[in-house]
Amino acid sequence: MVNRNLIRELELGDELDQELELAMAGAAEGEYSVGAATLAVNSVLEGKVLRVDDEFVLVDVGYKSEGHIPRNEWDETEPPPQVGDTVKVLLEEFEDGSLEEQRGLITLSKRKARRIEDWLRVMESVHENDVVTGFVTRKIKGGLLVDISGVNVFLPASQVDIRRPADIGDYCGRCIQCLVLKIDEARRNIVVSRRALIEQERAERKKQLMETLEVGQVRRGIVKNIADFGAFVDLGGIDGLLHITDMSWARIGHPSEMVQIDQEIEVQVLHIDREREKIALGMKQRTASPWAKVADKYPVGTVCKGTVVNVMSYGAFVKLEDGVEGLVHISEMSWTKRVSHPSELVKPGDEVEVVVLAINKEKQEISLGMKQTQQNPWEKVAGDYPPGAVVKGVVRNLTNYGAFVEIDDGIDGLLHVTDMSWTRKVTHPSEMLEKGQEVECKVLSVDQQRRRIALGLKQMADDPWTTDIPKRYKSGDVVKGTVTKITNFGVFVGLEDGLEGLLHISELSEDKIENAEDVVKVGDPLEVKILRVDTDERKIGLSKKRVGWSKEREAAEATHEDA
């Protein structure tokens, strides 16, 4: 059945032998009797050559006047006309008079007569669905003209090939085989299809191929199409997919790096889905996998060189050889540097030295390390920085819980907020330090396995809670201070150089206080009485309401509290 697109192309090919259609319309428009014979316009007659000159050949067809035929209707490939030759001609028209007047010439055509005979001969031997061989003569609107035994037939552009060529004019001058799709005798038109014949042949080859195709077979095929994910290979009746990952053991960016369209290649059948007629192919499987000997060639601990081929957020892939790549995880790049992204250290194309850490042959994975090619500086930290050693460093980073101080290249120690001051309650390290500041600290401890060094700033001086504070602040003393912080349970009062005491909300006033801010504000100077000094807890208890109390009242209050 001819589809609608083909019908439109047939309409575009209407110029195919329109003059032939007119030539075969019959002699209804004019018939003249000569004796017992009747001469009909557009009829084929036999005539005898009377004269030959440079432009015309005179031919006698039994009419009073001779007919003339243009000299160029004899092809160069056939013998030239000779006087006395018998030729078949088409009677085209009578000129300058009628038969009764016995004058005037008649117009004849040898070429059209031959074409009519060719058409009739073809109609006797050619039928729909026949396979015919012809010569592509020229390109016309909508397709090609193909000469089959002297008759021009129409080959629509969509029927030239399975995949429409960029320029169907490239077929001109070629001898091709086609399948006859339709014969329209009324319009003197034959439509053929090269594509239908190819599809028919492919269907037969596909059937035969699917019957013999087996997984593991090696076949030759032609690359028909290339996509980003792979190439389609014609195995001779059916296309198989050669995925990009099955082209080479080595990493490739695009299938065009390995194959080209119309290239003949050798592939191995990897998988066959007979129901869906899908075939998976491979090229790299034709050679041994480089992973087969990876464990022997790169045992754990081996130091080798490779090339960085890809950088991801979690690490860098390093090619050891074609088809063998390992991952250097971001955590295995440096002993001391905190690497936020591998691109800080490497980029594609860099040659690096790595150590093989682990091999998973089944998953084809190799774990590599870059830092293992250098001595681990943490192995000598314990010896270089023993507890009690005084070190200098630069504040590299501040966090809510402390400051990281770089004491050596890539070696950081943590100075916790609790180790910044003996007396001051530090809520954030920025109250004591700033980024980039140089500080002198004491090493408190070294955890080599966890790679941690604890530093202390307050330990650079003696603990005032064991020496000075108990002597300077005694219970019952009245001292002056400044409000530094207000909480829901009381007020912190700064006494001197960061030393603070707690004034509980119940000690603010003789009256009951619900909110300390109703009585005092941060920065207010206060006179307070020391209630207690707890050196173990490092706390000083204060009272505002008891500042003016006498010893007797203090004693009475103490008795009341005890009761």
- Domains of the chain, with CATH numbers? 18-117 (2.40.50.140), 213-286 (2.40.50.140), 298-372 (2.40.50.140), 377-460 (2.40.50.140), 469-562 (2.40.50.140)
Q: Encoding tokens for residue 379?
A: 């192995």
3-state SS, one letter per residue, for 265-329: EEEEEEEEECCCCEEEEECHHHCCCHHHHHHHHCCCCCEEEEEEEEEECCEEEEEEECCEEEEEE
Whether residue 147 contacts residue 97, with contact meaning beta carbons closer than 8 Å, is answered with: no
Backbone conformation region of residue 523, classed left if phi is above 0, alpha if psi is from -120 to 50, else beta: left
Give which of 392, 387, 398 is closest to 426, Cα–Cα: 398
What pLDDT does 560 receive? 63
What pLDDT does 102 receive? 43
Dihedral angle of Cα 367, 372, 377, 382, to the nearest 10 degrees: 70
Give which of 554, 421, 423, 536 is closest to 477, Cα–Cα: 554
Please state, in angstroms and rounded to a whole number, the distance separating the CA atoms of residues 368 and 358: 7
Global pTM exceeds 0.75: no
pLDDT, mean of each 10-residue run, the chain (563 residues): 42 43 42 50 76 82 76 78 80 59 66 75 78 90 86 88 85 90 80 88 83 88 92 88 89 89 91 88 86 87 91 93 90 84 92 92 89 80 82 90 85 87 82 89 85 86 78 84 88 82 85 85 88 84 84 72 55
Instruction: Give me the long-range contacts of 179-187 (CB less than 8 A, separation at least 24).
Output: 179/129, 179/130, 179/131, 179/132, 180/126, 180/127, 180/128, 180/129, 180/130, 180/131, 180/132, 181/2, 181/6, 181/128, 182/2, 182/10, 182/128, 183/123, 183/126, 183/127, 183/128, 185/123, 187/14, 187/21
Residues in the chain: 563
What pLDDT does 25 receive? 43
What pLDDT does 19 receive? 43
Q: Which residues, in sequence order, are bridge partners of residue 43?
A: none
What pLDDT does 16 receive? 41
Whether residue 328 contacts residue 366, with contact meaning beta carbons closer than 8 Å, is answered with: no
Task: Give the DSSP per-residue string, 216-250.
Answer: T-EEEEEEEEEETTEEEEE-SSSEEEEEGGGT-SS
Please state, in angstroms and rounded to a whole number, the distance separating the CA atoms of residues 214 and 222: 19
Q: Encoding tokens for residue 99?
A: 């038969």
Please state, in angstroms and rounded to a whole number, the distance separating the CA atoms of residues 139 and 334: 70
Render the burial of 396-421: b for 16+ CB within 10 Å, e for the rest.
eebeeebbbbebbeebbbbbbbebbb
Whether residue 433 contacts residue 399, with contact meaning beta carbons closer than 8 Å, is answered with: no
What pLDDT does 274 receive? 86
- The residue with tokens 């002056």 is 480
